[in-house]
């Protein structure tokens, strides 16, 4: 079944609505995707990630950016490839 661009955008909108709903229902603040996309990760944090020290990397990232734990975990996990 081939999808056209309209179908893809409709699905994307539905997913975005679902994500907003889940954040609202859980009471977890939704991170700003634009801020995450433009966030620079320091060399120090990258070195901690490279050494496998995930917890220290999350703490250092939080200290540097003042983000909440969940956001820090998302950013650090993305550096690990998920």
- The alpha-helical segments, DSSP class H, found in 1-82 are 5-26, 33-38, 43-50, 54-65, 69-80
% pLDDT > 90, the chain = 41
Q: Please report the pLDDT score of residue 5 as a whole number.
A: 80
Model-wide pTM > 0.95: no
Sign of the dihedral through C-alpha 73, 45, 48, 37: positive
Which pLDDT band holds residue 39 (cuts at 50, 70, 90)? Answer: low
């Amino acid at each position: 079944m081939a999808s056209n661009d309209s179908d893809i955008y409709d699905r994307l909108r539905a997913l975005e609505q679902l994500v907003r709903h889940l954040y609202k229902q859980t009471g977890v603040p939704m991170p700003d995707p634009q801020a995450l996309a433009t966030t620079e990760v320091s060399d120090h944090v990258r070195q901690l990630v490279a050494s496998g020290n995930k917890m220290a990397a999350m703490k250092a990232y939080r200290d540097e950016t003042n983000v909440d734990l969940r956001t820090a975990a998302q950013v650090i996990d993305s550096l690990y490839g998920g």
